Amino acid sequence: MKLTANEFKASFQQFVEVIENEKDYLCELDRKLGDGDHGVTMSIGWQAVNEKLNNELADETDCGKISSTIAMTFLNAVGSSVGPLYATGFLRGSKAVAQKSELTDEDLTNFWIAFINGVKERGQSKVGDKTMIDTLEPALLALEANFAETQDFVTSFEKAVEAGEEGMKSTIDMVSKLGRSSRLGERSKGAQDPGATSAYLLLDTFHTCVKQHQS
C-alpha cells in the first residue's frame, strides 16, 4: 500500500477527535488510580498538535517532519509523564519515515516499531507494571511477527491492535508498580490503566484510518 503524507496527517487529526470524545472517560479511569487528569492532559497536547496540523503542517509532505513536529508540540504543551513518552515515540518514528512523502507497508511498520521502542526506552517499564507498555509491547510483538510473515501492514497492524486491546484489558487485574498509582498497592486492582487505554485508542484510530485509505 501507499499512505500519503496527507493521509498520515489525517489519521492523527482523527485521533484528536477521538481524544476529545474520550476525554471524560480517560479522566474517570485516572481518578481511580491517579489525579484524574489523563484525559485533560491528552486533550491539551493533541489540541496543540491539531493547531500545528491545520496551520504550519498543512502543506508539509515530509512524514519525518510531521512526526517530529507532533513530538515537540505535544511535549511542550503537556510536560507530565506522557509528554516525554509520546514525544520520544514520535521522534524515533520520525527517523523511520524521514524525507518520505509516501509510506509503504515497510515504512509504516518501521514507524510503529521505532515508536514503541522509543516509548519503552524512555519509560523503562515492562509488561505487568500497569502502564501504556501493557498495550504497546504486545502490539509490537504482534506487528513484528505478522509483518515478517505477510509483509502486509494493514493486516499485521490489525493483529497489533487486537493484541494491544488484550493487553489494555489485562491491566484491570494488575497491581500498579510504577508512577503515582503504585502507592495504592492492592487497591489499584479492578481499574483499567488510563495510559494503556489512550495508547490503545491511538493504535486503533491509526488502524481504522489506514484501512479506510487502503480500500
Give residues in contact with another protein (CB under 8 A). Answer: 24, 27, 31, 34-37, 39-41, 44, 75-85, 122-123, 178-185, 187
Q: Minimum CB separation from another protein for residue 38, in Å?
A: 10
Judged by beta carbon, residue 5 or residue 119, the one nearer another protein is: 119
Q: Minimum CB separation from another protein for residue 12, in Å?
A: 19
Judged by beta carbon, residue 58 or residue 172, the one nearer another protein is: 172
Q: How far apart are CA 94 and CA 90, in angstroms?
A: 6
How many other β-carbons are positioned within 10 Å of the β-carbon of residue 99? Answer: 9
Q: Minimum CB separation from another protein for residue 193, in Å?
A: 13
Cell numbers representing residue 183 in the block: 502507592
Look up residue 49 and give its DSSP letter.
Answer: H
Judged by beta carbon, residue 10 or residue 40, the one nearer another protein is: 40
Give the CA-trace dihedral at 128, 118, 204, 193, to 10 degrees. 30
Q: Minimum CB separation from another protein for residue 128, in Å?
A: 16
Judged by beta carbon, residue 77 or residue 196, the one nearer another protein is: 77
Which residues partner with 103 through β-bridges?
Answer: 3
C-alpha angle 108-115-200 in degrees, rounded to nearest 5: 90
